[in-house]
């Protein structure tokens, strides 16, 4: 069972649809017990970082997500859900994140020089090996965001794309992963990456520490 | 590098695709869900559904279409047409739409852009602008109600206001070019794209693959939308992309 964590921040439907299409049992839930009992969990999210953290704290789900990450079961943050894994964000003031990965989320510099949000299909470049994309050919995936993450440790940065600067696309450490793009909206490649995550969840792929 | 996007648009009335569609091997040429899945497989980068239903029942049907589409496709899709309140947006986003297009209602009530953007995020809000050249002004004027009503509003100023209010993207239709198949309106697209900091989707006038290359190279568009040339199979999404690739334009 994969738990899609519902903390009131959008796009649950497209994520749950995609997971269902992969033939996985899933539940969209805000119930801590059901989340903690799941084999894998996805933290989706669209919207503002500060609002998301307020929701996560008010519902007690911030601690649940942290406990889940500590359990060693696969956890995937998508888009804003990935950004929330970091220490802090400067979106509309400085906000503390879940601090599961050290690093900051910052606005694209270069206002006026190029279009913001970074919206559309961009190329992935894998930076190191990961069970999340072992055997998968890189290609275009769908991004839409105005802020991007700067991981402190190079070892947490698994894939990048280029939008007037290197942009963090996939992060991960142990069983914790994040994707800045929307795998559920990224055609076949997106579905292949999600399948890797669900395979990991159901034990078809081993996670190396 | 960010790819240029190719976006087919489907007009939907009471849950059925209107305007002819000329695909082979279709079980039902009027089913928007089936067509959406075909365009997804053909390499479309996004889809736009324009709801032209005139009735409440028709709009309710659209929610069902959106729900079924979301279960079938793996690319983003925008729903526009007749959306005049944050509640309408919520209903469609909950059903699985990724973005909401607003046009006439945004002119009538620009606060709708602000409210939608605050509630759902800028990435969800596409402001559609129908523009026509006004010779007296030597500038483009915004029209509403599917191009029937002149507003007296200048398109460039409106594009900038939409951005300021939190639009994530503009869908810019040239009423001068629309239906001509003579190519996109390069002057309009370039003028709008260079005066805002958000992506611009060019629409109206696509007649062949070459026209897409022009609107990206000269018009500075971030994406290009077309309806009939794709529906009638005059050119396919793959052919457009092959042509663009040949010219060194980055596409998926």
- Model confidence pLDDT, tens digit, residues B142-195: 999 878 899 999 999 999 999 999 999 999 999 999 989 999 999 999 999 999
Q: How many residue contacts between A and B have a Cβ separation below 8 Å?
A: 90
In 3D, which of B4, B2, B70, B7 has the Cα closest to residue B42?
B7
C-beta neighbour count of A152 within 10 angstroms: 13
The pLDDT value given to residue B54? 79
Q: Cα B147–B153–B154 angle (5° rounding)?
A: 100
Chain A 96-135, residues with CB within 8 Å of chain B CB atoms: 111-112, 115-123
- Model confidence pLDDT, tens digit, residues A156-181: 999 999 999 999 999 999 999 999 99
Give me the residue from B4, B74, B120 closest to A186, CB to CB. Answer: B74
- In this prediction, the residues of chain A whose per-residue pLDDT falls under 50 are none
The pLDDT value given to residue B53? 86
Catalytic residue (one of A95, A145, A148, A184): A184
Q: Cα B181–B184–B189 angle (5° rounding)?
A: 160
Residue of A nearest to B117 (CA): A47
Q: Do B70 and A48 touch (CB under 8 A)?
A: no
d(C-alpha B13, C-alpha B16), whole Å: 5
Q: Do B120 and A46 touch (CB under 8 A)?
A: yes
In 3D, which of B131, B112, B136 has the Cα closest to residue B176?
B131
d(C-alpha A203, C-alpha B1), whole Å: 35
Q: Which ipTM score applies to this complex?
A: 0.92
- Model confidence pLDDT, tens digit, residues B238-248: 999 999 999 99
The pLDDT value given to residue A46? 81
Which range has the worst mean pLDDT, A69-78, A131-140, B50-59, B202-211?
B50-59
d(C-alpha A187, C-alpha A2), whole Å: 21
Q: Write out the two tokens for B243.
A: 């042509």
Give me the residue from A20, A116, A184 closest to B197, CB to CB. Answer: A116
pLDDT at B78 over 60: yes
* B88 counts as catalytic: no
The DSSP-derived string for chain B is: -PPPEEEEEEEEETTEE-S----TT-S-TT-HHHHHHHHHHTT-S-EEEEE---SHHHHHHHHHHHHHHHTT-SS-EEEESS--SHHHHHHHHHHT-SEEEESHHHHH-THHHHHHHHHH-GGGEEEEEEEEEETTTTEEEEEETTTTEEEEEEHHHHHHHHHHTT-SEEEEEETTTTTT-S---HHHHHHHHTT-SS-EEEES---SHHHHHHHHHTT--SEEEESHHHHTTSS-HHHHHHHHHHTT----
Q: Return the CATH number of the domain spanning residue range B5-246.
A: 3.20.20.70
Is the separation of the CB atoms in A160 and A115 below 8 Å? no
Q: Do A18 and B1 touch (CB under 8 A)?
A: no
Taking the alpha carbons at both ends of chain B, their separation in whole angstroms is 10
Distance of CA B32 to the CA centre of its chain: 16
Catalytic residue (one of A24, A79, A95, A118): A79
* A184 counts as catalytic: yes
What domains appear along chain A, each with residue ranges and CATH number? Answer: 2-201 (3.40.50.880)
Nearest-Å Rg of the Cα atoms of chain A is 16
Q: Cα B2–B7–B11 angle (5° rounding)?
A: 160
Chain A 21-80, residues with CB within 8 Å of chain B CB atoms: 21, 46-48
Distance of CA B64 to the CA centre of its chain: 20
Residue of B nearest to A162 (CA): B1
Q: Show me where the domains of chain B are located.
A: 5-246
Is the separation of the CB atoms in A179 and A79 below 8 Å? yes
Please provide residue A35's backbone torsions phi and psi, each rounded to the nearest 5 degrees. Answer: -65, -50
Catalytic residue (one of B11, B88, B178, B222): B11
Mutate to test the interface with A, among B72, B76, B245 (most CBs of A within 10 A): B76
């Amino acid at each position: 069972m994969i738990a899609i964590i519902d903390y009131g921040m959008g796009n649950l439907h497209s994520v749950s649809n995609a997971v269902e299409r992969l033939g996985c049992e899933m539940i969209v839930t805000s119930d801590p017990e059901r989340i903690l009992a799941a084999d894998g969990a996805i933290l989706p999210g669209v919207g503002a970082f500060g609002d998301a953290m307020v929701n996560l704290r008010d519902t007690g789900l911030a601690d649940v997500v942290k406990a889940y990450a500590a359990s060693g079961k696969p956890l995937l943050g998508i888009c804003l859900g990935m950004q929330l894994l970091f220490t802090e964000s400067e979106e509309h003031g400085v906000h503390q994140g879940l601090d599961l990965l050290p690093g900051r989320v910052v606005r694209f510099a270069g206002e006026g020089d190029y279009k913001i949000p970074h919206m559309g299909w961009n190329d992935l470049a894998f930076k190191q090996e990961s069970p999340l994309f072992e055997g998968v050919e890189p290609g275009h995936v769908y991004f839409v965001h105005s802020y991007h993450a700067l991981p402190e440790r190079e070892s947490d940065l698994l894939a990048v794309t280029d939008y007037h600067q290197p942009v963090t696309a996939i992060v991960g450490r142990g069983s914790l992963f994040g994707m800045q793009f929307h795998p559920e909206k990224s055609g076949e490649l997106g579905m292949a990456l999600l399948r890797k995550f669900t395979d990991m969840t159901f034990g078809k792929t081993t996670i190396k520490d | 590098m960010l790819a240029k996007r190719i976006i087919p648009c489907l007009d939907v009335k009471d849950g059925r695709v209107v305007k002819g569609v000329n695909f082979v091997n279709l079980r039902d040429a009027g089913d928007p869900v089936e067509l959406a899945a075909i365009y997804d497989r053909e390499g479309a980068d996004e889809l736009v559904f324009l709801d032209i239903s005139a009735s409440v029942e028709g709009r309710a049907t659209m929610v069902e279409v959106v729900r079924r589409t979301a279960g079938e496709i793996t690319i983003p899709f925008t729903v526009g047409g007749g959306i005049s309140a944050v509640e309408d947006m919520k209903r469609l986003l909950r059903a699985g739409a990724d973005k909401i297009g607003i046009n006439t209602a945004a002119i009538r009530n620009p606060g709708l852009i602000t409210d939608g953007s605050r509630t759902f995020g800028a990435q969800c809000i596409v402001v559609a602008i129908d523009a026509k050249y006004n010779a007296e002004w030597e500038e483009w004027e915004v029209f509403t109600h599917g191009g029937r009503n002149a507003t007296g509003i200048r398109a460039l100023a409106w594009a900038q206001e939409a951005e300021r209010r939190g639009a994530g993207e503009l869908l810019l239709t040239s009423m001068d070019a629309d239906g001509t198949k003579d190519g996109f309106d390069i002057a309009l697209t370039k003028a709008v794209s260079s005066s805002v900091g958000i992506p611009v989707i060019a629409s109206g006038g696509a007649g062949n693959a070459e026209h897409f290359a022009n609107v990206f190279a000269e018009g500075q568009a971030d994406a290009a939308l077309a309806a009939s040339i794709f529906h009638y199979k005059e050119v396919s999404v793959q052919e457009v992309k092959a042509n663009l690739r040949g010219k060194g334009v980055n596409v998926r």
